[in-house]
Structure 1
Amino acid sequence: MALAQTAKEQELEARVAQLERMVEQLLAQQQQTATTVAETRAEVTEVRSAQAGTAPADGKPRIQTTPIMTAANAGTTFSYGGNIKFDTMVTDTSDGRIADGSAGRLFYLPSAIPVGGPGADGGDAYTDQHAQFSRFWFSADHVTEGGQKVKAYIEADMFGGGSNALLGNETATNTYGVALRHAYVSWNEWLAGQTWSNFMDVAALPEAVDFVGPTDGTIFVRQAQLRYTKGPWSVSIENPQTTVTPYLAAGARFNTGDNVLPDLTARWTTKGDWGHFSVAGLLRQFKWLDETATGAAVSVSGRFNMGPSDDIRYAVNAGSGIGRYLAFGLGSDVVVDASGDLDALDGYGAFVAWRHAYTPKLRSNLMYSRAEFDNDKAITGFGVTEAAHSFHANLIYSPFPKLDVGAELIFGQRFLEDDREGDLTRLHTHIKYTF
């Protein structure tokens, strides 16, 4: 009995030992599996981070794990955008054709409307296509630890003309040069660089298929400046330039950069759910050789919302020596009188536009624009522009956001002081995708 009991105990002890070894093996396998899973997860995380960038605390996506702007301040946000714009224009002019390759063939330019003598004939209509107003921009934004905001912005389009005498034309490759639009840095309330003139109310411009639309009565200038903005007020000193018409228009109008003092502007703007209203002033010095003159102008503009589907946009501009700022320089800043003195030329311009949205995808704009100049015919002669005006009606469809397909009918006229006038009729279409 004693021997049998001992054998049984030995068998039990052997089975217990075997079970203990099995448990140890299972635990070892489990630990190895857990280690393998952890390593695999780490590898997957590393791969995903390398491919898509690790999302930082601010939640903004990154396109790479290392800084994209290695020379910028740490934490600088980089952004990029632009648009592709394809334009087609069929133009009919009453008094001769607009010169091929000139700006007036690419967008509505009142000063380019031909005005001929008796019997002048524009011939058949002519068609132009281009993508020169496609553009791109880069922006770098930074906020310091003290909360100061710094921004660098640069924008360009392809409206720089041909970059090669052989290729820069419509014969083969349609090569065009990059043209600078904006290049500035802003620091809190300060801005330094090239951008829209402070005398120009960009927010009041109507939606047009044409590059500008109601060009005749529009203030439109981009130039270098130093600007300060505080609340509704902004003031700036801007690049001076004087356009001069010789006595009795004995020669072509020309520009001079002899100015000593910069152009000075000031603007006040108020806004709300109803839209916005703005008043701007401009003071200028004109200089050519040793002759000087001064000028001043005022602009009143804004947008009034009449409901969720309609708004009215407008501008009224008037002043002495306003020529360079109005309608792409339709009129001159100054004229030279018989004694060689400079006389500032008075000019006036205005536009009004009604925008109506039929659906979230379909909208239209009706516009009228006009500019006039008080020429002293004893000084300027009779061959200078007295006035220009235009009517615009467009329809724009957006099948999905950021894609616009539009058509605009334009009728414009330019009048000379000798009562001659020339007409332009144009159908302008575009396809534009903004990204």
Structure 2
Amino acid sequence: MNNKTISCKPQTQNSKLETRRKKPRLPFFSILSMSMGFMGIQFAFALQNGNASRILRGFGADMEQLSWFWVAAPLTGMIIQPIIGHYSDQTWTKLGRRRPFFLVGALLAVIALILMPNAGSFANYLPPLLFGGAFLMIMDASINVAMEPFRALVADMLPKEQITLGFSIQSFLIGIGAVIGSWLPYIFAEWLGFEKVASAGQVAPNVTYAFYTGSTVLIITILWTVITTKEYSPQQLAEYSNDQTQHKTPTFSDIFKDIGHMPKTMKQLAVVQFFTWIALFGMWVFTTDAVAQHVYKLPISDVTSLKYQKAGNWVGFIFGVYNAVAMIYALLLPTIAKFIGRKMTHTISLICGGLGLISIYFIGNPIFLILSMTGVGIAWGSILAMPYAILAPSLPSQKTGVYMGIFNIFITFPQIINGLFGGMIVKRVYHSHAIYALLMSGVF
């Protein structure tokens, strides 16, 4: 392997004193490669976000049950990510300390991607709805296992002045994966002629084959990062952080101590993350039904017709639009943040996303939903990068993984709250008119 071109090893031999002061700057290809696997993860995540609701609705889930099934995803993330972060901080193998975790997570996610659209095949054993919900949980748990170490890897490898660039490139790659993953069912159905309607209890072929494609992309991109990225050893990380003290071996209970000693920056971001992710969860769960009912004028009970499937495919397409906007916007973030600061950049971006979601209520033509998703895309591009760019410099190097995992609690907890009560509110207060869930998300 030619470490001069594809390795993340330091490029220069500095004096010991200089090395302790600062991590070396890394070339563009190294920064790109360390986040390439995240593109595959987001490909899978986009397929899940754009299609899980209509898959579960086709299996028989009603509006209230829909959000309950989605609760499994953030619940597993809230539990798993701090644990993964803690143990990845303490792990060192031939593959490093982050790479083993996202490799295992990717393999499990591939299995779930293949099995979820085939949940109807297990109908002789249990209702497809239960199998579909179980595979959704497995998929999201696996994605969570793989996702957190990628955040920590960027913080591990890059000097402070490249942190914003590193997370922006990561957001750009996430955007590529999300755009293709979101558009794939639409492309298979509308451009390649795949059948887009299935009988009750089954999943349309265009969605099924999109999931198969996602599993292939995921494993290829994860292997790219595993093969091309060489992590710093614990000794090197200690030198770069000027941390020459001897630390006791951390225990599992230290996770709770770390929560109590969160950096001030993390506490400030926690409030912002809470309202951000309670809104995103509502968008992912209810957009398909909101668009079908409010824009395509379908009755609430229609979840299997050709028109409903067209609405679902169009939602996948506009989700791809917001991810495409996020991908482009991510490239502009370092420049914008340089002029107005990271915090103001993030604030303005979130306002654009809120206005985009609210605007859906006033739209009657599906084409104009592209404008709404442009606002959402601006917010999403910032959500994927700026909180981590703001947070990373405040974290001690020996606890980067566990704090990135703890930070995920402020992403998953609001989703759990929305999952437990959002569907109930939509069904009992809004009488299953899902458009009001999107209005509520925009306000948040």
TM surpasses 0.5: no
TM-score computed with the length of structure 2 as normaliser: 0.26
Looking at both structures, which has the greater relative contact order when contacts are Cα pairs under 8 Å and sequence separation is at least 6? Answer: 2
Q: Which has the larger radius of gyration?
A: 1
* Structure ranking higher in helix proportion: 2
* Structure ranking higher in strand proportion: 1
